[in-house]
Amino acid sequence: MARWKPDLKEGAVTPESIHLRRREFLRLGAAGALGAALAGLPDAALAGGDDPSGEALPVSRRVEMAGGEKPTPWKSVTTYNNFYEFGTDKADPAQRVGTFRSRPWSLAIEGEVKRPQLLALEDLIKLAPLEERIYRHRCVEAWSMVVPWLGFPLAELVKRVEPTSRARFLVFQTLLDPAQMPGQKNRVIEWPYTEGLRMDEAMNPLTMLVVGLYGRVLPGQNGAPIRVVIPWKYGFKGPKSIVRIRFVEEQPRTSWALLAPTEYGFYGNVNPSLDHPRWSQAKERRIGEFLRRDTLPFNGYAAQVAGLYAGLDPRKLY
């Protein structure tokens, strides 16, 4: 397993808004803030404004892992999204999330584990201290952002459920409910949305189970109430609104790979030297910027993760 050696600058990038929210949080008290956050706010209320909104979550520490870059504004992070369950347009998720309710919620853990379980969101969120991590976030479509996610390492959950020796991959599934997720009425992709990771990718300390954004409860369009973020992979390896994690022996068939096998491989690592048939992967455009910039191997996290792929054909990395 890769060592935890990020480009950490703890506390160095605490924007003013976070200081303010911190005070607000201290005033509410950790338990109060958490209780309010889980009370069952409609997801539409969290969408779209200029400033972070929604209930504050307790933040145990902040780590900067995007080379000191300023996070992309809340408004952009919450209105420019890929979430096909709400439509294929970038603006669709924020506009159409009003029918979606992310609470109450539970996550089923099944398959090759000694302790299969159905975890209520309230319990899941308390498995480990919530940490803010500012990560680079890149889509295969060659746009990117810098995002302050809030959550904890997925490894915390994996250890707790005790995978058997046969567990080699994890399969993630998003909620299937066309009444709440109108995009599922169209067969644009295989529903329920399915993603997969190899066990060592899931256990890498960079891989996060995310429940918040900018110190707030995760908005529906960003994958409320629980998603996974794997910062060295393209965005399509970041399953949103997950209801199930299944531990399996065989490499799973995932939604994007089923949709377009020549365009999406199993790994989906950020690899500037290997172009996608439709979008060059050499450069990317940060949302909010005009000029494109060079894409970094493994999205800038090569030191922590390149070792996971030693010996694998570089063309398969993608």
Instruction: Give the interface with Mo ion as residue ranges (CB under 5 A).
Output: 82, 139, 235-236
Q: CA–CA separation, 231 vs 124, rounded Å?
A: 21
> Of ligand MTE, Mo ion, none, which one sits near residue 84, judging by CB under 5 to 8 A according to partner kind?
ligand MTE
Report, in Å, the least distance between residue 115 CB and ligand MTE. Answer: 26
What Rg, from alpha-carbon coordinates, does the chain have?
18
Among 25, 74, 84, 266, indicate the residue that binds ligand MTE (CB under 6 A): 84
User: Distance between CA 25 and CA 58 in Å, rounded?
Assistant: 7
**Interface residues for ligand MTE in 233-272 (CB under 6 A)?**
235-236, 238-241
Taking the least distance from each CB to Mo ion, the nearer of 22 and 285 is 285
Task: Tell me whether residue 96 or residue 137 sits nearer to ligand MTE (CB atom).
Answer: 137
Query: Nearer Cβ to ligand MTE, position 133 or 163?
Result: 133
Is residue 52 a contact residue for ligand MTE (CB under 6 A)?
A: no
Smaller CB separation from ligand MTE, 247 or 264: 264
Burial of 297 (0-12, 13-18, 19+ CB in 10 A): middle
Q: Give the angle subtended at the CA of 238 by the CAs of 175 and 97, to the nearest 5°.
A: 45
Q: Least distance from C-beta 312 to Mo ion, angstroms?
A: 22
Tokens of 183: 């995009």
Q: Which is nearer to Mo ion, 165 or 262 (CB)?
A: 262
Site string for ligand MTE, 277-306 (x = CB under 6 A): ------------------------------
Q: How far is the CB of 20 from ligand MTE (least distance, A)?
A: 24
92 is a site residue for ligand MTE (CB under 6 A): no
Q: Which residue is nearest to ligand MTE (CB)?
A: 235
Minimal distance, residue 141 CB to Mo ion, in Å: 6
Whole-number minimum distance, CB 299 to Mo ion, in Å?
A: 13
Q: Residue 25 or residue 236: which is nearer to Mo ion going by CB?
A: 236
Q: How far is the CB of 2 from ligand MTE (least distance, A)?
A: 23
Q: Residue 239 binds what, of Mo ion, ligand MTE, none (CB under 5 to 8 Å, by partner type)?
A: ligand MTE
Q: List residues binding ligand MTE (CB under 6 A).
A: 81-85, 137, 139, 174, 193, 222-223, 235-236, 238-241
